[in-house]
């Protein structure tokens, strides 16, 4: 890692920690700890969504805005199967499989038809797909109070008087593990190498014989599994409402942008800090109204920081 | 409604229909002549909201069923009601268009059964300018209760919150209530502030923690309420968000650290199962109309009307009760008019304003309208507790005691109702 990148990482992490410290200043740990725990779980979900997005974007050039909708459909299936009395793990598996199927269906049948269109067109197409899925989900399951519970909610540890459930620990650990796993996958496997080649130069990769369709399908598959897992965790930790899960993709985009659609580690730091700051802003009577825009302010500041010293061009590759 | 619930509802409905055929009386509607109305139709409008974040069709569905029943039983002096409804899809522009279509471009005589989060705010001025009265049924914002031409059978969040707060103060020993409301001035802030005022007027205190409806994370609002020093938490939210807040509280095992109270939206038959055993006996909910187990004669008639004239999947919920009541009170007022005047909007509006002292076992107090810039006839209710499989009544009909209701009580005194 070069020194500039390391410096950027450190500045980013330090700035986020400083903001959290400022918001928590003078408040008892029992209170700030509650907000920190809550924010870390939400931030992990933002990060997971952003990681799936970046992996797919790097391999295929598609910014997938339908991952939330795929997760929402999966979560509703999981709830439905559990309501019908099926063994809950089957429902959790079905959640991931449904999100995988929805994502793969787009990646295999629709995305290739848009392969040569602009990035923006590809992204908007996935948004259309998301709205179609959301419409179907809303048609099948009309608005009704629902909740999805995992057995890990009942298990927890006490950290300085705070109860942290196993579900929250799992989602945080999963976000970190997925970043590490994908990093290793990209660095140490042949398919990972091919994905990196696609990310560097798609046209050249095709010329040298990289099986683009196969590599892209694998990338869509990874994104689908992450979307399913994120949807399941979101339904448990936040709430089981298809619209809310679908549009979780918006702060996830902010997390992905914080990583410049490149660095998974920065997406993780960005997502976690967005969740924590968004949560801890509640402690400030003056700033708590700004909570919903916090992820985007952070993403904008990060972009400006990285942008320093370069000139903006329209659609060019600086 | 999920498939299982839908199947159960259909089965229950089929069972009720069979049982109804064997045991229950036929529905009683309007003039109850048993003969279909054949005269010139009287146009009545209704606006509902059905899109994300919620389906509020219950009230217009119930009103439609009652009007069908009335049309099959002599109509309004022999004239059938032509009930036309529009969906505002929670969109202000659609709401304005719906009102223009039903009120400005149509010779409708009244609006009945309206249920929406936004249309009353958008259209209150139109209703006043067009001289039409709205007998709404599912209102949630201040404009619905603080307008000259809208009156609702449901209470909305403010009275229901006050009812819950009053019960908590008197029965649970609450001295400091934190109200978790939506960050919407004419809904959450309006109705939470009334609770704070009520508590302060009674030697206690209160605060509000506001939740942005678009924000995914509900935990922060809960934590804000927890850190406020309150002994009671009032979850002034739609049922879905309330479930998420209670789940977050369960995770931190906060159940026994606070009293948990809520207004009517949590009175939903699917809520107890979704909440689970942890909360049974610990969440108190205000019911603004009679809980289903009360089952008085008018409640039975509502069920009979829905069975005979509604659709199998029309919800049998509080807003459905409210829609039935609005339609019934409207028809009773119309039947009391000179037959020559029932197609005249201005005279119908006068007749609606003249409503006073109508009663139903679905409501705790009398229903009236009167001529005022505000209307809130329903300000008494029940208190129920969430238990396994449903709700247990813990306090029968009681009047809410708050300075907010003084103008309403003055009008009621003027009308000889209290």
Nearest Cβ partner for B217 among A84, A156, A279: A279
Output the six-digit token pair for B36.
């279909």
Q: B135, B352 in Cβ contact below 8 A?
A: yes
Q: How confident is the model at residue B212 (pLDDT cuts 50, 70, 90)?
A: confident
Indicate the burial class of A97 (C-beta count within 10 angstroms; 0-12, 13-18, 19 or more): middle
Q: Measured between alpha carbons, how far is B173 from B170 in angstroms, rounded to an integer?
A: 6
Q: What are phi and psi of B282, to 5 degrees?
A: -120, -5
Q: Is the pLDDT of residue B346 over 90?
A: yes
Name B249's Cβ contacts closer than 8 Å, sequence gap at least 6: B222, B233, B255, B258, B260
Q: How confident is the model at residue B25 (pLDDT cuts 50, 70, 90)?
A: low
Nearest Cβ partner for B243 among A34, A147, A163: A147
Q: Tell me: the pLDDT tens digits for B172-203?
A: 999 999 999 988 889 999 999 999 999 999 99
- Which CATH number does the domain housing residue A210 bear? 1.10.3470
Report CB contact under 8 Å: A291, B227: no
Q: Tell me: the pLDDT tens digits for B151-171?
A: 999 999 999 999 999 999 999
Report CB contact under 8 Å: A147, B274: yes
Output the six-digit token pair for A201.
């130069």
Q: Of A57-66, B67-76, B311-320, which has the strongest mean pLDDT?
A: B67-76
CA quadruple B56, B61, B64, B69: dihedral positive or negative? negative
Q: Measured between alpha carbons, how far is A297 from B290 in angstroms, rounded to an integer?
A: 48
Is cis: bond before A240, omega within 30 of 0? no
Asked whether residue A93 is assigned to any structural domain, the reply reads yes
* Nearest CA-CA distance, residue B349 and chain A, Å: 35
Q: B142, B374 in Cβ contact below 8 A?
A: no
Polymer length of chain B:
418
Biggest alpha carbon–alpha carbon distance for chain B: 65
Asked whether residue A232 is assigned to any structural domain, the reply reads yes
Q: Helix (H, G, I), strand (E, B), or coil: what is residue B358?
A: strand
Asked whether residue A80 is assigned to any structural domain, the reply reads yes
H or E, element range at B283: strand B283-287
Chain B CA closest to residue A248: B216
Percentage of chain B exceeding pLDDT 90: 74
Q: Strands B232-235 and B176-182, how do they pair? A: parallel
Residues of B in contact with A278 (CB under 8 A): 217, 220
Report CB contact under 8 Å: A291, B240: no
H or E, element range at B234: strand B232-235
H or E, element range at A172: helix A166-188
Asked whether residue A19 is assigned to any structural domain, the reply reads no
As for how many domains chain A has, the answer is 1
- Write down the pLDDT at residue B14: 40
Q: In order of start, what are the domains of chain B with their CATH numbers?
A: 3-156+294-378 (3.40.50.2300), 157-287+382-414 (3.40.50.2300)
Per-residue pLDDT 10s for chain A (318 aa) are 577 777 877 888 888 888 888 888 887 777 788 788 888 888 999 999 999 999 999 888 899 999 999 999 999 999 999 999 999 999 999 999 999 999 999 999 999 888 888 889 999 999 999 999 999 998 898 777 788 889 998 888 887 667 788 998 999 999 999 999 999 998 899 999 998 888 788 788 888 888 988 999 999 999 999 999 999 999 998 889 898 899 889 899 999 988 888 889 889 999 999 998 988 888 887 887 788 788 888 888 888 887 776 665 554 444
Instruction: Compute CA B157 distance to the chain's CA centroid, rounded to the nearest angstrom.
Output: 9
More confident residue, A37 or B86: B86
Asked whether residue A135 is assigned to any structural domain, the reply reads yes
Report CB contact under 8 Å: B242, A145: yes
Q: Range of A265's domain?
A: 38-301
- Write down the pLDDT at residue B292: 87
Q: B167, B284 in Cβ contact below 8 A?
A: yes
Residues of B in contact with A32 (CB under 8 A): none
Q: Measured between alpha carbons, how far is B4 from A93 in angstroms, rounded to an integer?
A: 21
Report CB contact under 8 Å: B219, A42: yes
Q: Measured between alpha carbons, how far is A250 from A65 in angstroms, rounded to an integer?
A: 8
Q: Helix (H, G, I), strand (E, B), or coil: what is residue A207?
A: helix
Q: Measured between alpha carbons, how far is A32 from A24 in angstroms, rounded to an integer?
A: 6
* Residue A292 near chain B (CB below 8 Å): yes
Could you tell me which residues are beta bridge partners of residue B85?
A: B46
Biggest alpha carbon–alpha carbon distance for chain A: 61
Residues of B in contact with A240 (CB under 8 A): 240
Nearest Cβ partner for A243 among B53, B55, B241: B53
Output the six-digit token pair for B118.
């936004």
- Write down the pLDDT at residue A278: 87
Q: Measured between alpha carbons, how far is B131 from A169 in angstroms, rounded to an integer?
A: 60
Q: Is the pLDDT of residue B343 over 70?
A: yes
Residues of B in contact with A241 (CB under 8 A): 53, 240
Report CB contact under 8 Å: B216, A141: no
Report CB contact under 8 Å: A279, B243: no
Nearest Cβ partner for A163 among B53, B240, B252: B252
Q: Tell me: the pLDDT tens digits for B360-390?
A: 999 999 999 999 999 999 999 999 999 998 9
Q: Tell me: the pLDDT tens digits for B127-153?
A: 999 999 999 999 999 999 999 999 999
Q: Is the pLDDT of residue B52 over 70?
A: no
Residues of A in contact with B181 (CB under 8 A): none
- Write down the pLDDT at residue A160: 66
* Residue A295 near chain B (CB below 8 Å): no
Burial track A270-284 (b if 16+ CB lie within 10 A, e otherwise): bbbbbbbbbbbbbbe
Indicate the burial class of A208 (C-beta count within 10 angstroms; 0-12, 13-18, 19 or more): exposed
Name A295's Cβ contacts closer than 8 Å, sequence gap at least 6: A46, A250, A251, A254, A255, A274, A278
Asked whether residue A311 is assigned to any structural domain, the reply reads no
Q: B66, B309 in Cβ contact below 8 A?
A: yes
Report CB contact under 8 Å: B216, A239: yes
Residues of A in contact with B52 (CB under 8 A): 138, 143, 242-243
* Residue A275 near chain B (CB below 8 Å): yes
- Write down the pLDDT at residue A311: 61
Asked whether residue A263 is assigned to any structural domain, the reply reads yes
Residues of B in contact with A165 (CB under 8 A): 251
Asked whether residue A70 is assigned to any structural domain, the reply reads yes
- Write down the pLDDT at residue B377: 95
Polymer length of chain A:
318
**Interface confidence (ipTM) of the complex:** 0.70
């Amino acid at each position: 890692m070069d020194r500039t990148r390391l410096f950027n990482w450190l500045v980013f992490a330090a700035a986020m920690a400083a903001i959290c410290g400022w918001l928590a200043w003078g408040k008892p740990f029992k209170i700030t700890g509650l907000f920190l725990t809550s924010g870390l779980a939400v931030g992990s979900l933002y990060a997971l969504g952003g990681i799936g997005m970046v992996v797919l974007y790097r391999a295929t050039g598609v910014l997938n805005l339908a991952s939330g909708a795929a997760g929402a459909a999966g979560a509703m299936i999981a709830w439905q199967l559990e309501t019908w009395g099926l063994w809950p793990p089957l429902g959790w598996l079905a959640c991931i499989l449904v999100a995988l199927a929805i994502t793969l269906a787009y990646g295999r049948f629709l995305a290739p038809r848009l392969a040569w269109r602009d990035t923006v067109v590809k992204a908007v197409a996935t948004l259309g797909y998301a709205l179609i899925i959301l419409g179907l989900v809303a048609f099948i399951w009309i608005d009704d109070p629902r909740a999805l519970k995992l057995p890990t909610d009942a298990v927890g540890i006490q950290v300085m008087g705070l109860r942290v459930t196993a579900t929250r620990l799992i989602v945080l650990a999963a976000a970190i593990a997925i970043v590490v796993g994908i990093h290793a996958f990209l660095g140490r496997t042949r398919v990972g190498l091919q994905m990196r080649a696609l990310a560097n130069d798609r046209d050249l990769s095709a010329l040298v014989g990289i099986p683009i369709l196969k590599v892209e399908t694998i990338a869509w598959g990874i994104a689908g599994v992450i979307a399913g897992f994120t949807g399941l965790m979101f339904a448990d930790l936040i709430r089981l409402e298809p619209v809310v899960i679908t549009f979780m993709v918006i702060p996830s985009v902010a997390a992905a942008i914080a990583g410049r659609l490149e660095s998974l580690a920065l997406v993780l730091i960005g997502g976690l800090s967005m969740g924590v700051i968004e949560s801890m802003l509640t402690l400030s009577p003056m700033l708590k109204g700004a909570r919903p825009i916090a992820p985007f302010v952070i993403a904008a500041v990060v972009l400006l920081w990285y942008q320093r010293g370069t000139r903006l061009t329209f659609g060019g590759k600086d | 409604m999920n498939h299982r619930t839908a199947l159960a509802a259909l089965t229950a409905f089929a069972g009720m229909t069979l049982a109804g055929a064997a045991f229950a009386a036929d529905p009683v509607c309007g003039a109850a002549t048993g003969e279909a109305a054949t005269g010139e139709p009287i146009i009545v409008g209704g606006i509902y909201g059905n899109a994300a974040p919620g389906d509020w069709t219950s009230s217009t569905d119930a009103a439609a069923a009652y009007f069908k029943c009335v049309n099959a039983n002599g109509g309004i002096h022999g004239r059938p009601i032509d009930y036309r409804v529009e969906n505002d899809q929670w969109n202000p522009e659609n709401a304005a268009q719906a009102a223009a279509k039903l009120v400005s471009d149509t010779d409708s005589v009244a609006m009945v059964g309206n249920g929406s989060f936004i249309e009353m705010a958008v259209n209150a001025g139109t209703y006043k300018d067009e001289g039409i009265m709205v007998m709404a049924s599912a209102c949630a914002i201040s404009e619905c209760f603080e307008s000259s031409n809208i009156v609702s059978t449901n209470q909305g969040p403010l009275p229901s919150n006050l009812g819950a707060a009053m019960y908590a103060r008197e029965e649970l020993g609450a001295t400091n209530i934190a109200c978790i409301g939506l960050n919407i001035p004419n809904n959450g802030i309006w109705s939470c502030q009334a609770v704070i005022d009520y508590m302060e007027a009674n030697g206690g205190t209160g605060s509000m923690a506001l939740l942005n409806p678009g924000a995914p994370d509900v935990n922060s609002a809960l934590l804000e309420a927890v850190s406020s020093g309150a002994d009671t938490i009032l979850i002034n939210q739609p049922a879905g968000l309330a479930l998420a807040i209670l789940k977050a509280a369960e995770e931190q095992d906060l159940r026994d650290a606070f009293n948990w109270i809520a207004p009517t939206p949590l009175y939903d038959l699917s809520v107890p199962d979704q909440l689970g055993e942890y909360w049974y006996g610990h969440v108190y909910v205000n019911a603004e109309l009679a809980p289903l187990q009360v089952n008085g004669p008018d409640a039975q008639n509502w069920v009979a009307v829905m069975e005979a004239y509604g659709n199998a999947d029309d919800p049998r919920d509080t807003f459905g009760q409210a829609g039935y009541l609005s339609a019934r009170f409207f028809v009773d007022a119309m039947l009391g008019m000179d037959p020559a005047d029932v197609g005249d909007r201005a005279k119908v509006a006068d007749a609606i304003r003249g409503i006073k002292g109508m009663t139903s076992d679905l409501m705790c107090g009398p229903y009236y309208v009167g001529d005022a810039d505000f209307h809130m006839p329903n300000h008494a209710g029940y208190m129920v507790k969430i238990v396994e499989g449903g709700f247990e009544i813990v306090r029968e009909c009681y009047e809410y005691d708050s300075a907010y209701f003084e103008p309403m009580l003055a009008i009621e005194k003027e009308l000889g109702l209290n």
